């Protein structure tokens, strides 16, 4: 039976000799949790791992779009949509979108994620032409002006192509190459890094009654299979970011199960991205029905992910997340300041 290897991520300054760096980053581990379907987890020393598994868990990830992974990176969200769940309609106006993008960049965004289609449950379909009309003019203005790379949040190859031509550097496909058959070839030929995200069902129906045998392991297997598909399309694994898709066909319990053991996804050998910001489960558990009131819960989840070595945190609230993360990193820094 397959055993899944979850590194138990630590940031404590008392790092034992022989502990391994987690993905070459700011966490270390000297134990792993072995997970098997239908069996109790077992904790074993990292020293007992086969060399190949230890290497994949500990090797530094390649820089993508100029970003290295020695610290968590923040991806700021710009939704140029009338109906996004968290900020729907606020940034549909080009001037407002531009101002929001500049605000996120000034507040410390390492990367900006621009999307012209909402993927919230029940969202309306948008034509390619409309999506391009929403995002391309914004990218054309921002790309030369910003220090941070831009990612395009789209499931459609034509939108991705237009965004790359306008200056975007990263693809973010919430369908993980399943929506548009042309996306794999585009990602391969363009050489752009791509984020592949797990979702169960499509946006219209995904929250109706999501079910898993074991959500953590099912999502892991899905991402492993999508990585194989990406590699077959000519996209090297080192150019892929993987994302468990918080809230995409998941109950609050599913989201929690994923976040609690999020370090498992380092076993895929890729940069890991988590987007939990302002999502519904934060409102449910945090008593915040309004999306804009979910900032503290969103920050808490982002810090929890960073403490398990997650390299990219996709957030709406840049000022608050940047401050919290700076303090978390300062307090837990592996090296003491001299
Ligand atoms: N979540 C949303 C959109 N894109 N991309 C990745 N990689 N991961 C995510 O978790 C993710 C994503 C949904 O959030 P938001 O953009 O705020 O809302 P909407 O889809 O309604 O525009």
Residue of 73, 74, 120 best suited for mutating to test ligand 1, as the one with most atoms within 8 Å of CB? 120
- The response to whether residue 275 sits with its C-beta less than 6 Å from ligand 1 reads yes
Phi first, then psi, for residue 3 (nearest 5°) are: -105, 135
Residue 337 has what pLDDT?
46
- The response to whether residue 173 sits with its C-beta less than 6 Å from ligand 1 reads no
How far is 177 from 310, CA to CA, in rounded Å?
A: 22
Percent of the chain whose predicted confidence (pLDDT) is above 70? 96
Ligand 1 atom, smallest distance to 83 CA = 21
Q: What is the pTM of this model?
A: 0.96
Residue 87 has what pLDDT?
67
Residue 82 has what pLDDT?
82
Residue 125 has what pLDDT?
84
Q: Closest Cα to atom 5, ligand 1: which residue?
A: 174
pLDDT digit string, tens, across residues 212-263: 999 999 999 999 999 999 999 999 999 999 999 999 999 999 999 999 999 9
pLDDT digit string, tens, across residues 291-312: 999 999 999 999 999 999 999 9
Ligand 1 atom, smallest distance to 77 CA = 16
The one-character DSSP state at 268 is: G
Find where tokens 């302002």 sit.
278
pLDDT digit string, tens, across residues 173-189: 999 999 999 999 999 99
- The response to whether residue 259 sits with its C-beta less than 6 Å from ligand 1 reads no
90: how many CB neighbours lie within 10 A of its CB? 16
Residue 123 has what pLDDT?
75
- The response to whether residue 199 sits with its C-beta less than 6 Å from ligand 1 reads no
Name residues of the chain where pLDDT drops below 50: 337-338
């Amino acid at each position: 039976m397959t055993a899944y290897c979850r590194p138990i991520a630590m940031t404590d300054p008392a790092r034992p000799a022989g502990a391994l760096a987690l993905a070459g980053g700011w966490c270390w581990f000297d134990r792993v949790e072995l997970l098997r379907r239908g069996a109790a987890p077992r904790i074993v020393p990292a020293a007992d791992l086969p060399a190949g598994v230890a290497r994949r868990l500990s090797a530094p990830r390649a820089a993508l779009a100029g970003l290295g992974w020695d610290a968590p990176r923040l991806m700021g969200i710009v939704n140029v949509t009338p109906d996004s769940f968290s900020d729907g309609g606020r940034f549909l106006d080009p001037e407002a979108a531009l101002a929001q993008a500049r605000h996120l960049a000034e507040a410390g965004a390492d990367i900006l994620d621009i999307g012209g289609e909402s993927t919230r449950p029940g969202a309306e379909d948008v034509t390619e032409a409309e999506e391009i009309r929403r995002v391309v003019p914004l990218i054309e203005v921002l790309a030369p002006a910003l220090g941070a790379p831009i990612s395009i949040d789209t499931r459609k190859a034509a939108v991705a192509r237009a965004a790359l031509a306008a200056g975007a550097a990263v693809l973010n496909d919430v369908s993980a190459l399943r929506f548009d058959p042309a996306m794999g070839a585009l990602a391969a030929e363009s050489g752009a890094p791509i984020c592949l995200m797990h979702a169960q069902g499509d946006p219209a129906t995904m929250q109706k009654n999501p079910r898993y045998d074991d959500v953590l392991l099912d999502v892991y297997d899905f991402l492993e299979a999508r990585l194989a598909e990406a590699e077959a399309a000519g996209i090297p694994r080192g150019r892929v970011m993987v994302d468990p898709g918080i809230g995409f066909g998941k109950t609050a319990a599913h989201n929690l199960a994923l976040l609690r053991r999020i370090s498992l996804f380092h076993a895929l050998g890729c940069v890991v991205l988590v987007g939990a910001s302002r999502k519904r489960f934060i409102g449910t558990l945090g008593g915040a029905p309004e999306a804009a009131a979910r900032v503290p819960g969103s920050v808490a989840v982002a810090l929890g992910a960073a403490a398990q070595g997650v390299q990219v945190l996709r957030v709406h609230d840049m000022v608050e997340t940047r401050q919290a993360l700076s303090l978390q990193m300062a307090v837990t820094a592996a090296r003491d300041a001299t």
